[in-house]
Amino acid sequence: MIGKIKASSTAKSGLVVMFSTLFSRLLGFVRIAVVASFFGASGAADVLNAVFTIPNNLRKLMAEGALSSAFIPELTKSHIIDPEGYRARKTVRLLFTFQIIILIPLVILSIIFAKPVIDILLEFRESEKMQLAVSLFRFFIPYVLLVSISAILMGVLNSHSKFFVPAITPILFSISVITCIFVFSSRLGVYSMALGVLAGGVLQIVFQLPSVIRKGYSFLPDLEFSYPPFRQILRLWYPIALTSLISVVSQQVAFLLASGLSDGSTSALANAIVFWQLPFGIFSTSISTVFFPRMAENIQKENAVELKKTIEQGLIFILFFLLPAGIAMWILAPHIISAALQRGNFTAENTIIASTVLRGYLPGMIFLGGYNFLQRLFYSSGDSKTPFKILTMVAILDIALSIMMINIGFGVLSLAVAHSISYFIGFIILFTKARKIASFLIEKDSIITLIKIIVVNLVFVFFAVLSYRLLDDKWKDGSSFFYFFAVMSMVIFLVILILFLYWRAGVTKRVFASVKRQL
C-alpha cells in the first residue's frame, strides 16, 4: 500500500513538473516573440541574444545544473539521517555562504572587466555592437547571483517533495521580462530586457523564500566548510561541473562563431535553440526524472536484470516521444516560427534563417536525448570520468566541424549540423561503453516495439507533409490570429494523430506499461 502511495505521489509530482515545464516553455516562446517583435532578429537583437547566453550558461554550472545535481541528493540523504533537520539546515547555510563568497566577487570582477570578457567571448564585426555587448553584459551578469540563490531555494523545496512552487518560478521570470519590454522598451530600448531579467531573478527568490523559511531554514553565514555533508556536495559537484563546463564552452563557442557571421545569425541560432528545446526539454527531463532513480537503485542493489530493462525501456521512451516531435517540427519549421515570431521587425527572411538552423538541430535531438539518458547510468555507477572524456571529444568535434563547414560556406547552419553529427557519434560511443557496464542487449519484444515506432513514424511523415501543404506558403505573410490558430490546430491534430497511430500499432500500451513499472 505504501509503495502504491509513493508511486502515485511520484506520478503526480512528475505531472506537475511536466506541465509547469510545458507552460514555462510556451511562455518562453511568447518572450522571444516579444523580443523579436520589438527588436527584430538582427542588429541590437543579435547582441541581446548573444550576451544573455553568457550568464544563462554560467547558471548551468552554479545554479540549476551541476550544483543542484550534487546538492539535492545530499540534502535528501540528510533528511533521512537527521529527521530533526539540523544537518540539512546547516548544509544549506554553508552552501548559501559558499555561493555568496564565490559569486559576488565574480560579478564585481565581471562588471569591471566586462570589455576583455566580451572581446574573448563575442566577435561582432561592428564596433557599435561590441560596445553595446559590453554595456548589456554589465547589466546581465548579476542575474547569475540571483538565479544561483533561487536554485538553492528550489533544491531545498524539491528535497522536501515540494514541486509546485519551484516549478512556477521560471514562469514568473518570463512574465517579468515580457512586462518590462512592453512597459519600458520605448524609453530603455534593449535595456528593458536587462531590467526584466534582473526583476525576474529577484521575483524567483521572493516567491520561494516564504516556503523555505516555513521549513525552518535560515541563511545566516556559516564558514565551517569542513562539515562532511558540505564536502560531499563539493566532491559530487566537481566532476559534474567539469562535464557541464565542456557543454557550456561548446555552446558559447557556437555563439562566438555566429557573432562573426552575417547579420541575424546570432538571433537565428538563439531562436532555433529555443524552439528545439521545447520538445527536448519537456520529454528529456521527464524521462530522466522517471528512470534515473530506478537506474541508481538497480546499481546499488546490484540487480543486473532490472538495470538492463530500465536502460532498454528508457531508450525506447526517448524514441517514442522525440522521433515524431522532431519529424513534425522539421517539416513545419517555417510555419511554426512564422506563427510565433514573424511580426513587427521580424521578417520572412528571419523566419527562413531560423527555420533552416532549427532543421539542422532536429536530427540530433534523439541522439542527444539518448546521450543524456546514458550519462545517468555512468553517474549512478560512480563513474564521472567516462562522460567527461566522451563529452570533451564531442565538443572538440562539434567546434572543428562548425569551423570547417563555415569555411565551406554553410554559414550559421554549420553550427546546427555540426552539433547533430557530433552528438550522434557521441551517443554511439557512450552506448558502446554503457553495454560494458550493464551488458544489456535489446530483447526481441523491444526490437519489435522499435520497428513499430519507426514504421508508425514513416506513416506520420506523410500526414506531416500533407499538413505543410495545406498551410501552403502562408508563413511568408507573417503571423496573424487566424494563421496562428491554423498552425496550432495543425500541431494539435498531428499530436492526436501520432498517439492514435501508436495506439493502433500496440506501441502505446508497451511503452507506458514500462513507465508505470518504473514508478
* pLDDT tens track for 350-388: 889 999 999 999 999 999 999 988 887 887 676 778 888
Q: Is the model's pLDDT at 114 over the cut of 80? A: yes
Q: Is the model's pLDDT at 339 over the cut of 70? A: yes
Q: Is the model's pLDDT at 14 over the cut of 60? A: no
Express each pLDDT in 173-203 by its tens digit. 889 989 999 899 888 888 999 999 999 999 9
Q: Is the model's pLDDT at 405 over the cut of 90? A: yes
Q: Is the model's pLDDT at 171 over the cut of 70? A: yes
- Cα separation, 340 vs 34, whole angstroms: 10
Q: Which residues, at least 6 apart from 4, have a Cβ–Cβ distance to it below 8 Å? A: none
Segment 8-19 mean pLDDT = 55
Q: Across the chain, what does the average pLDDT equal?
A: 82
Lowest mean pLDDT among 138-142, 266-270, 450-454: 266-270
Whole-number pLDDT of residue 417: 94
- Cα separation, 40 vs 48, whole angstroms: 11
Is-contact 460 324, C-beta < 8 A? yes
- Cα separation, 131 vs 220, whole angstroms: 39
Q: Which residues, at least 6 apart from 187, have a Cβ–Cβ distance to it below 8 Å? A: none
DSSP type of residue 126? S
Whole-number pLDDT of residue 358: 94
Q: What is the pTM of this model?
A: 0.72
Task: Taking the CA atoms of 101, 105, 108 and 110 in sequence, report the sign of the dihedral they define.
Answer: negative
Whole-number pLDDT of residue 158: 75
Q: Is the model's pLDDT at 3 over the cut of 50? A: no
Whole-number pLDDT of residue 207: 92
DSSP type of residue 165? H
Express each pLDDT in 142-160 by its tens digit. 998 998 888 888 888 877 7
Whole-number pLDDT of residue 244: 76
pLDDT: is 440 or 473 the higher one? Answer: 473
Whole-number pLDDT of residue 140: 92
Segment 159-166 mean pLDDT = 75
- Cα separation, 486 vs 69, whole angstroms: 41
Whole-number pLDDT of residue 362: 93
SS3 helix, strand, coil % of the chain, rounded to 5? 85, 0, 15
- Cα separation, 446 vs 313, whole angstroms: 8
Lowest mean pLDDT among 174-178, 266-270, 416-420: 266-270
Whole-number pLDDT of residue 1: 39
Whole-number pLDDT of residue 519: 47
- Cα separation, 41 vs 47, whole angstroms: 10
- Cα separation, 74 vs 410, whole angstroms: 46
Report residue 75 as a C-alpha cell.
540534502
- Percent of the residues in the chain that have a pLDDT greater than 70, as a whole number: 86
Whole-number pLDDT of residue 16: 63
- Cα separation, 341 vs 222, whole angstroms: 48
Q: Is the model's pLDDT at 13 over the cut of 60? A: no
Reported as a pLDDT band with limits 50, 70 and 90, residue 11 is: very low
C-alpha of 25 from chain center: 10
- Cα separation, 238 vs 72, whole angstroms: 15
| 164 to 171, 177, 321, 474: CA distances (angstroms) | 12, 21, 24, 39
Whole-number pLDDT of residue 17: 62
Q: Which residues, at least 6 apart from 248, have a Cβ–Cβ distance to it below 8 Å? A: 57, 58, 60, 61
Q: Is the model's pLDDT at 2 over the cut of 50? A: no
Whole-number pLDDT of residue 142: 92
Express each pLDDT in 455-498 by its tens digit. 999 999 999 999 988 888 888 887 777 888 888 889 889 999 99
Residue ranges of domains in the chain: 25-236
Express each pLDDT in 201-236 by its tens digit. 999 999 999 989 988 888 888 888 888 888 878 877
Reported as a pLDDT band with limits 50, 70 and 90, residue 7 is: very low
Express each pLDDT in 280-330 by its tens digit. 877 777 676 667 656 766 776 677 777 787 788 888 888 898 999 999 999
Q: Is the model's pLDDT at 509 over the cut of 80? A: no
Lowest mean pLDDT among 156-165, 442-451, 506-515: 506-515
Whole-number pLDDT of residue 138: 94
Q: Is the model's pLDDT at 505 over the cut of 90? A: no
Task: Taking the CA atoms of 36, 41, 45 and 47 in sequence, report the sign of the dihedral they define.
Answer: positive
